[in-house]
Amino acid sequence: MEQNSVTHDERVKKAKLMKVFIAFAAGMAGLLFGLDIGVISGALPFITTHFDLSSRLQEWVVSTMMLGAALGAISTGWISFKLGRKKSLMAGATLFVLGSLGSACAPNVIVLLVSRVLLGFAVGIASYVAPLYLSEMSEKEDRGKLISMYQMMVTIGILVAFISDTIFSYGGHWRLMLGVISIPALLLMISVFGLPDSPRWLASKGMISKAKDILRMLSTTDEKADNELSEINESLKVKQEGWGLFKANKNVRRAVYLGMLLQAMQQFTGMNVILYYAPQIFKHAGFANTEQQMIATVICGATNVLATLIAMKTVDKSGRKPILKIGFAGIALGTFLLGVCLYMINAGFDALWISIVAVIMTLFTIASFAMSAGPVVWILCSEIQPLKSRDFGVACSTTTNWGCNMIIGATFLTLINHFGIAATFWIYTTLNILFVVLTILFIPETKGVSLEKIEQNLMAGKKLKDIGE
Ligand code: BGC
């Protein structure tokens, strides 16, 4: 009896350690995702001077990464289906190292652009594989928390990039800003070696006994692991896979469209516009010199990180759907009041309190996103796709994320020129109100439900909003 309980304790400890390692490695992928999103804003002015870039080329330096990410996400669907999550992560880590070193050492703008596409490819792979891998490696009770933790690493990456950019900016060291990212990239490469492959992917490739070993390693009892394996086997009975299944099966199509809708909603909240525009709002509020600007960006980055903690704490308890509704409503309110403040400022009301309210609303909007759509959309997208078409479905939703990110970036300045800054934010207000309604109508609650149960409900033709019941 005594012996047994010690063995069990040891097993629980081992399973826990393995999960911490898995979370660390996938978290590194998130960190790199964030670092690469965050780094370019600080480096661009120096790169522009160094290579004497036209504004067209500056846009290219920024957007080649998004383009690479969209391409990376589409092609990883296939790579991850054929080679598995682990090898895909390895490919991503290698590209992160090559892309960071390539852009840091670039002798001319062509090498810089090619390296940015490579980096984008790496970001596309990371944003595709890491949440999917985490969802397949975790137990239903803490799946949400693990993927929120991944999103928190994304936000930490953005924050660290802001800080490191500021530090290196004193000497104008743009090559160091870009090159320093190769260090966490190397760390990711090394840690991926120690990762087990996903049992769900192994089972889908017929490697049942390997899948069983890994499930047992991650579970606290053999019984739990074996039950999970039989549920996985059950979901593999469907004959077709990927694209074929998408064409043939209406329920699979519904899941794919739902994933794409979720990612489009996440991007059209306007979060990236707010992050981009925040320094200007802080400038109005009196944060005028470089040092104050630095404090301002760090405050935004830190708010993003801290609010993600709220999601980590609540997503497996209160559920995905309530926090998504609250989040979209919060962003609607924040962007509305921000628009009002900016309207007043532009109309000549120059009171300090208006600028302060604008700053508070900026932070409120960032926090509303970070505690909801930021993590929850990645969580849901990795949960709702049936196993046999999971790679295809997640590839479609991740590519939608990057595609919409590009659209937002490309239309923002045009919208401001056409409608003015206040009305531009009100457009986002309207969209976020619409997203509250869409969440009520279509988004399922998946808290505490196994991936296999979600799949059964979907394939049985239940309404999308009910597939987690
Ligand atoms: C989004 C990114 C965004 C980031 C901000 C992610 O979930 O996909 O577009 O920049 O959150 O924290």
Q: What is the mean pLDDT of residues 159-163?
A: 91
Q: What mean pLDDT value characterizes the chain?
A: 90
Whole-structure pTM over 0.85, yes or no? yes
Give residue ranges with CB within 6 A of ligand 1: 37, 151, 154-155, 158, 266, 271-272, 304, 374, 401, 405
One-letter amino acid identity for 71? Answer: L
C-beta separation of 160 from 34 below 8 A: yes
Alpha carbon of 467 to ligand 1 centroid (Å): 26
| Best CA proximity match to 387, nearest among 176, 237, 210, 165 | 237
**pLDDT score of 4:** 53
Alpha carbon of 360 to ligand 1 centroid (Å): 20
* Angle at 49 (CA atoms; ends 46, 54), nearest 5 degrees: 115
For 61-79, letters b (16+ CB in 10 Å) and e give bebbbbbbbbbbbbbbbeb
Give the dihedral of Cα atoms 440, 442, 126, 140; nearest 10 deg: 80
Q: What is the mean pLDDT of residues 123-145?
A: 88
| Best CA proximity match to 324, nearest among 148, 131, 130, 99 | 148
Consecutive H or E run containing 248: helix 242-248
Alpha carbon of 111 to ligand 1 centroid (Å): 27
Q: Check whether 374 has a pLDDT greater than 60.
A: yes
pLDDT digit string, tens, across residues 47-68? 999 999 887 788 788 888 988 9
Q: Which of 269, 272, 408 to mutate to test the pocket of ligand 1 (most atoms within 8 A of CB)?
A: 272
**Cβ count near 105 (within 10 Å):** 13
**pLDDT score of 239:** 62
Residue 84: φ, ψ to 5°: 95, 170
Of all residues in the chain, the percent with pLDDT exceeding 90 is 58
**pLDDT score of 2:** 42
**Which of these ranges, 39-43, 302-306, 307-311, 323-327, has the smallest mean pLDDT?**
39-43
pLDDT digit string, tens, across residues 240-290? 566 778 888 899 999 999 999 999 999 999 998 888 778 778 877 777 776
Q: Check whether 3 has a pLDDT greater than 80.
A: no
**pLDDT score of 357:** 93
C-beta separation of 456 from 235 below 8 A: yes
Of all residues in the chain, the percent with pLDDT exceeding 70 is 97
Question: What is the residue-wise DSSP string for 74-139?
Answer: HHHHHHHHHH-HHHHHHHHHHHHHHHHHHHHH-SSHHHHHHHHHHHHHHHHHHHHHHHHHHHHHS-
- Residue the block writes with tokens 């600007």: 293
Nearest-atom number in ligand 1 for the CA of 308 is 12
As a whole number of angstroms, the distance between CA 119 and CA 124 comes to: 9
As a whole number of angstroms, the distance between CA 264 and CA 381 comes to: 12
103 CA to centre of own chain = 23
- Residue the block writes with tokens 């700053």: 359
**pLDDT score of 66:** 87
**pLDDT score of 234:** 84
Residue 6 — very low, low, confident or very high, per pLDDT cuts 50/70/90? low
Residue 383: φ, ψ to 5°: -100, -30
Minimum CA distance residue for ligand 1 atom 12: 155
Domains and CATH numbers, the chain: 1-195 (1.20.1250.20), 243-469 (1.20.1250.20)
Q: Check whether 451 has a pLDDT greater than 80.
A: yes
**pLDDT score of 45:** 86
**pLDDT score of 294:** 74
Q: Check whether 1 has a pLDDT greater than 60.
A: no
404 CA to centre of own chain = 13
106 sits in the region (left: phi over 0; alpha: psi -120 to 50; else beta) called: beta
pLDDT digit string, tens, across residues 167-180? 888 888 999 999 99
Q: Check whether 203 has a pLDDT greater than 70.
A: yes
Alpha carbon of 374 to ligand 1 centroid (Å): 6
Alpha carbon of 405 to ligand 1 centroid (Å): 9
